Amino acid sequence: MLRFMFVGDSMTIGSAGEHTWRYWVWRHLRATLGTPFTVVGPREALYDKAADAPVSYAYAEPDFPRRHLAGWGEGWQHMTPLIGDAVRTQRADVLLVSLGLIDLGFYTDAEQTDANVRAFVAAARAANPRVAVAVLPVIPNVRAHDDPPFGAEVLRFNDLLAKTVADLDTPASSLLLVPPPEGYDIDVDTYDGTHPNERGERRLADAFGAALARAWDLGAVPSPR
């Protein structure tokens, strides 16, 4: 049985009342994978904006495996020290990763963030030499739109990420770059210029679903919306 683990920042953990794109990926895989699977991770909660802490369980759809390794305000820098133990204890086979915006916005430049990606992959492989990792680049966001130097740094990181994925991909432990949703629009796919609304959640899930199907023959390519 394949064991999937979602790894991400605020866009992945989600906040109270949301489905999260994790739900839509799970629903897609349940409908198309054709083999038993499960979702694993050391955390379950959503972020509660009122409490300013990940203490909510008020999912819009609670009837799905809610486990994950995601955190509001956490990036590659934060997840790299955690990923080895998480992969080992959760026995994860496939990591679905969306990180980078937080790093570039507050902690590290493109090159430093890329170095953390490499350390993350090394730690995950040390825990499971056959782990597969699907990585989404930093997607359009309001800061990149309004702040040209930051937008250039995002483009620089995404370019480095693509090269890192190509460099580190191996037959034993596949590393996959997930193409971002085509035409992702911060005005209609997010509720604040960064965090996905339900339309955005579905589009992110479709991006992962299409990549998993085309590259690894896991499930089917989602129908165009």
Q: Give the pLDDT confidence of 25-76 residue by residue, as tens digits.
A: 999 999 999 999 999 999 999 999 999 999 999 999 999 999 999 999 999 9
**Residue 27's closest CA among 224, 222, 225?**
222
Residue at 7: amino acid letter: V
Query: Domain boundaries in the chain?
Result: 2-9+31-42+73-216
Cα radius of gyration rounded to whole Å, the chain: 16
pLDDT at 225 over 80: no
Task: Tell the CATH superfamily of the 2-9+31-42+73-216 domain.
Answer: SGNH hydrolase (3.40.50.1110)
Q: What is the pLDDT of residue 208?
A: 98
Looking at residue 224, its pLDDT comes to: 78
Q: How confident is the model at residue 22 (pLDDT cuts 50, 70, 90)?
A: very high
Q: Supply the pLDDT for residue 223.
A: 87
Q: What local confidence, expressed as pLDDT, does residue 219 receive?
A: 97
Q: Is the pLDDT of residue 111 over 80?
A: yes
Helices 76-90/110-127 angle, 10° precision: 10
Half-sphere exposure of 19 (CA within 13 A, CB side): 18
Threshold 0.95, pTM exceeds: yes
Give the mean pLDDT of 116-141. Answer: 98
Look at residue 104 and tell me whether its pLDDT is greater than 80: yes
Nearest by Cα to 192 from 28, 49, 54: 49
pLDDT digits (tens, 9 = 90+) for 76-85: 999 999 999 9
Q: Quick: pLDDT tens for 156-206.
A: 999 999 999 999 999 999 999 999 999 999 999 999 999 999 999 999 999
